Structure 1
Amino acid sequence: MAQESPATPWLSVIVPVLNEAATIQACLTALLPLWVCGVEIVVVDGGSDDDSVALARPLANRVLQSQCGRARQMNHGAQESQGEHLVFIHADTRLPRRADLLIDRALKGPACWGRFDVEIERGFALAGLVGWSMNRRSRLTGIATGDQAIFMTREAFDIAGGFPDQPLMEDIEMSRRLRRLSAPACLAPRVTTSARRWQQHGPLRTIVTMWWLRLRYWCGVSPWTLAGEYTDVR
């Protein structure tokens, strides 16, 4: 049975899901050490037609229903959660050990938001290089992606207005908003994310597609236009 949240948990983990029956149990089981330390775990389902919701219920404080769309789901989870700070992770992402203490330490400094370095599971030959380039690019630009487990104070989330209601690049746009408040805390401990996206479409094709989409987004192409060309959009 799901554990009751403390009156005011200091950290809430928000997990948006859509048809993640294959991954959600492993994701939430990995969060149990944080849960028993009083961290609130909030799953936000966007209308799954598999067993995602049933599998998540015993392993989270709350399982919410939301309109489909990763940004909408994350915003709904943040609004319904109780934590003073927030961290957003994908269902195929694993946080590093004692991520709660790492986040707490980072947010006691000048930064009001941050992210972790990322490591892609060794599912293809270029996984290490892709992860390294993601981390390097993020440190140089101050922009984080959802794979890097973006975290922030609730105050920063509110000032930024939450994630923009758009179907793609919501993490890029949120980083832009948060960057106006402070530089990000770039934590070297790594989150681990699944290689399934690269395996499904092929690493080279996926890399080229993502760079092409980001370049066009930076040039002003609408995220709705881009979402129509991206088969993994949530």
Structure 2
Amino acid sequence: MSKISIIIPTINEASNLPLLLSDLSSIQKEGEIIIVDSGSEDKTIDIANIYGAKVFISKERNRGLQLDIGAKNSTGEWLIFLHADTRLTHDWFKKINSFLEGNKNIIYYFEFKINHKKIIYRFLEILVNIRSKFFKQPYGDQGLIIHRTIYFKNNGFRNIPLMEDVDFLMRLNKKKDLKQLNFPIFISSRKWERTNIFLQAIKNWHFRRRWLKGESLKSIYSDYYKND
């Protein structure tokens, strides 16, 4: 068994994936990189193959399903779930290594940092990190580092196209075991660049509220991606 499996869901990420895979290149001897693609029409799969990643195909565009396919095909003791448009610090693996030797019940996530210099993003970072650290509500774009036994004990990500991170973290038996790392993951600003970030935050909150009240994910998904 390898030490870590890094699982990345993709759909047309040819412009972002090389950057992340270059950040991950230092772990080749310690683990594996798994790409689960859901029908990319660009060079995403070619890039994954060039970097030596294992590639699996999801028959539908469904991030929850993609993440679970990756987990079920992994060999790592620890599973690290990342979005394709994120970046890591050059010494990220050296920093997390000590944590991976410790308590296997702890679920780690990165400090939230947006990869853009605009000052307004610093305010968003503060709000997200407060929510994550004190209210135990990190989201999937912050990365998730979880021991495979804990992942499968909690039944993993469900086969849902949206809210898969919120759903999984809500089902955790012990929220106190969620722990923020003291160094960041750099998140692409692309989803905020087309709109006011505070309006987008309100929209995201409204989508989550609709889901928690029992509305169909199909209608929420349609609204979420209608401008993409």
What's the TM-score once normalised by structure 2's chain length? 0.90
Q: How many residues align?
A: 226
Q: Secondary structure at the match of 2:55?
A: strand
Q: What is the CA deviation profile of residues 174-199 of structure 1, one whole-angstrom value per residue up to 9, with x for unaligned ones?
A: 11223537521211200001000001
The residue that corresponds to 1:53 in the other structure is 45
| TM superposition shift of 1:124 | 4.1
| TM superposition shift of 1:125 | 4.1
One-letter amino acid matched to 2:121:
A
| TM superposition shift of 1:32 | 0.8
Q: Secondary structure at the match of 2:5?
A: strand
Report the CA distance shift for 1:201/1:74 in structure 2 as closer, same or farther (over 3 A). Answer: same
The residue that corresponds to 2:142 in the other structure is 148
Q: Tell me the distance in 2 between the aligned counterparts of 1:138 and 1:19.
A: 29
Q: Tell me the distance in 1 between the aligned counterparts of 2:170 and 2:227.
A: 20
Q: Is the 8 A contact 2:20 2:88 kept in 1?
A: no
- Relative to structure 2, which stretch is displaced further, 172-181 or 194-203? 172-181
The residue that corresponds to 1:3 in the other structure is none
One-letter amino acid matched to 2:68:
N
Q: Is the 8 A contact 2:80 2:146 kept in 1?
A: yes
Q: Tell me the distance in 2 between the aligned counterparts of 1:181 and 1:140.
A: 11
| TM superposition shift of 1:123 | 5.7
Q: Tell me the distance in 2 between the aligned counterparts of 1:156 and 1:145.
A: 18
Report the CA distance shift for 1:111/1:102 in structure 2 as closer, same or farther (over 3 A). Answer: farther
Q: What is the CA deviation profile of residues 80-113 of structure 1, one whole-angstrom value per residue up to 9, with x for unaligned ones?
A: 1110110110111112343334444334136431
Return the match for 1:44 from 17, 36, 41.
36
Q: CA RMSD in A?
A: 2.2
| TM superposition shift of 1:205 | 2.9
Report the CA distance shift for 1:134/1:57 in structure 2 as closer, same or farther (over 3 A). Answer: same
The residue that corresponds to 1:114 in the other structure is 108
Report the CA distance shift for 1:9/1:232 in structure 2 as closer, same or farther (over 3 A). Answer: farther
Q: Tell me the distance in 2 between the aligned counterparts of 1:49 and 1:170.
A: 24
Q: Tell me the distance in 2 between the aligned counterparts of 1:43 and 1:233.
A: 26
The residue that corresponds to 2:192 in the other structure is 198
**2:78 is aligned with 1:81:** no
Report the CA distance shift for 1:61/1:52 in structure 2 as closer, same or farther (over 3 A). Answer: closer
Q: Is the 8 A contact 2:8 2:84 kept in 1?
A: yes
Q: Tell me the distance in 2 between the aligned counterparts of 1:165 and 1:222.
A: 14
One-letter amino acid matched to 1:10:
K
Q: Tell me the distance in 2 between the aligned counterparts of 1:116 and 1:73.
A: 21
**2:15 is aligned with 1:22:** yes
Q: Is the 8 A contact 1:111 1:185 kept in 2?
A: no
Matches within 5 A, 1:59-78: 59-67=51-59, 68-78=61-71
The residue that corresponds to 1:167 in the other structure is 161
One-letter amino acid matched to 1:65:
I
What's the TM-score once normalised by structure 1's chain length? 0.88
The residue that corresponds to 1:138 in the other structure is 132
Report the CA distance shift for 1:217/1:21 in structure 2 as closer, same or farther (over 3 A). Answer: same
Q: Is the 8 A contact 1:23 1:91 kept in 2?
A: yes
Structure 1: 5+ residue stretches without partners: 1-7
Q: State percent identity of aligned pairs.
A: 28
Return the match for 2:206 from 179, 199, 212.
212
